[in-house]
Homo-oligomer: A and B are copies of this chain.
Amino acid sequence: MVYGILQRNTRQRAVVLEELKKVCGHPTAAELYEIARARMPKISLGTVYRNLELLAQNGVIQKLHISGAEARFDGNPDRHYHVCCIHCERIEDAHDLPDDFVKEEVRSLAGYDIVGFRLDFLGVCPDCRDEDGAGGGGTSPLGRE
């Protein structure tokens, strides 16, 4: 289990990674810190941040900047997309996308070499839709944050 720059396989690193992979959602560093503390009470928040950063840099996990403030982490390093609820900000994986849903010709723009794209869907999750009753008539237009 050697990952590029990651030189030592510390107990803290292993715990952070294991717990992130175990968890179903996309936790923040602080959330992961709490989870990790259950197994390793003396682990520090700084260590959690450092390890998440290193793991992300090495492509072992992903760091997501979907909803404003805090970064969230995804134990799945493979390319996939997310759905974000505009009411409760929950983030889930977007399943069942056709894999060619973005057209090929969009690969070179304005003289850039396009190496990828970041795509997040914004929507209303089933829970929020039900709470709202009405059906979300007043939601903002497509593509707006």
Contact = CB atoms under 8 A, between A and B. Distances in A.
A44 B116 CA distance: 38
A143 B111 CA distance: 19
A103 B141 CA distance: 17
Copies of this chain, count:
2
Interface stretch (A9-17, A18-26, A122-130): A122-130
27 contacts: A59-B140, A62-B145, A64-B145, A65-B68, A68-B71, A79-B143, A80-B143, A83-B110, A93-B110, A94-B109, A94-B110, A96-B110, A97-B106, A97-B109, A98-B103, A98-B105, A101-B105, A113-B136, A114-B121, A116-B123, A117-B119, A117-B121, A117-B142, A118-B119, A118-B145, A119-B120, A119-B143
